[in-house]
Amino acid sequence: MTPWLRRLHKWIGLLVALQFVLWMVSGLMMGWLDHDRVQGHIWRAHAGPAPAWPRDALPAEAVLGAATAAGAHVGGVASAWLDGTPVYRILDGGVTRLVDAHTGQALRIDGAWARRLAQASYTGPGNAGVARKVEATLEARAHVGPFWRVDFDDDDGTTVYLSDQTGEVLAHRNDTWRLFDIFWMLHIMDYTGRSDFNNPLVVMAGIGGLWMALSGIWLLVASFRLGEFVPRRWRPARALTVFAPGGTRLRTVQASAGDDAYVALARNGLQLPSNCGGGQSCGLCEVRVRGAAPRPTAADRAHLPDTRLRQGHRLACNLRLRADTEIEVAGGAALWTHAHATVEHVEAVTPFLREIVLRPDVAPGAEYQPGAYLQVHVPAYERPRSDIVQPDAHRADWDALALPPALHNAEPVRRAYSLSLPPAGDDGRLRLLVRFSPGSRPGRRQPPGRGSSWMYTLQPGDRLDYSGPFGDFALRPGGREKVFIGGGAGMAPLRAMIHALLDAGAGERIHFWYGARDLREAPYVDEMQALAQDHANFSWHLVLSDPAPCTDALLRGLVHEVAGQRLLASHPALHDCDFYLCGPPAMLAATRRLLKRLGVPDAQVAYDDFKI
Q: E strands of 205-269, at which residues?
A: 237-243, 249-256
Is the model's pLDDT at 501 over the cut of 50? yes
Query: Above pLDDT 90, what percent of the chain?
Result: 43
Q: How far is residue 73's CA from residue 49's CA, in Å, rounded to a whole number?
A: 32
Closest CA to 117 of 149, 144, 91, 142: 149
φ and ψ of 547, to 5 deg: -60, 150
Residue 338 above 90 pLDDT? no
Residue 470 above 90 pLDDT? no
Counting residues of the chain whose pLDDT is more than 70, the rounded percentage is: 93
Residue 189's beta-bridge partner residues? Answer: none
Q: What is the mean pLDDT of residues 166-194?
A: 91
Q: Confidence class of residue 384 from pLDDT cuts 50, 70 and 90?
A: very high
Task: Give, in words, the CATH class of 481-609.
Answer: alpha beta
Q: Write out pLDDT tens, residues 543-573.
A: 998 876 655 567 888 999 999 999 998 999 9
Which CATH code for domain 232-334? Answer: 3.10.20.30
Look at residue 445 in the predicted model and tell me its pLDDT. 58
CB atoms within 10 A of CB 140: 20
Is the pLDDT reported for residue 123 higher than 90?
A: yes
| Higher-confidence position of 482 and 234 | 482
Residue type, 216: G
Whether residue 225 is predicted with pLDDT greater than 70 in this model: the reply is no
Confidence at 443, pLDDT banded by 50, 70, 90: very low
Contacts of 519 by beta carbon, 8 Å cutoff, 6+ apart: 525, 542, 544, 552, 554
Given a cut of 70, whether residue 199 has pLDDT beyond it is yes
Residue 230's pLDDT is what? 66
pLDDT tens-digit map of 51-97? 888 988 889 888 888 888 777 788 888 888 998 889 999 888 778 88
* pLDDT of 300: 84
Q: Where are the domains of the chain?
A: 2-38+181-223, 45-171, 232-334, 337-470, 481-609
Residue 595 has pLDDT above 60, yes or no: yes
Which of these, 359, 373, 409, 422, lies nearest to 612 by C-alpha position? 373
The predicted model scores a pTM of 0.59
Question: Alpha carbon of 29 to those of 7, 186, 555: distances in Å?
Answer: 33, 11, 52
Q: Which of these, 290, 296, 291, lies nearest to 320 by C-alpha position?
A: 296
Three-state SS for 291? Answer: coil
Q: Which tens digit of pLDDT belongs to each residue from 135-176?
A: 989 999 888 889 999 999 999 999 999 999 999 999 999 999
Average pLDDT over residues 358-371: 92
Q: Which helix (H) or strand (E) holds 492?
A: helix 491-503
Average pLDDT, the chain: 87
Question: Cα separation of 437 and 313, whole Å?
Answer: 29
Q: How confident is the model at residue 401 (pLDDT cuts 50, 70, 90)?
A: confident
The average pLDDT across 514-520 equals: 91
Q: Which residues contact 154 (CB under 8 A, 6 or more apart)?
A: 43, 124, 125, 126
User: In this predicted structure, what is the pLDDT of residue 218?
Assistant: 74
Q: Say which CATH topology domain 337-470 has.
A: Elongation Factor Tu (Ef-tu); domain 3 (2.40.30)
Task: Answer for the pair 239, 265: CB distance below 8 angstroms, yes or no.
Answer: no
pLDDT of residue 342: 96
CA-nearest of 608, 371, 604, 603 to 501 is 371
More confident residue, 582 or 553: 582
Q: Exposed (0-12), middle (13-18) or buried (19+): which is 298, by Cβ within 10 Å?
A: middle
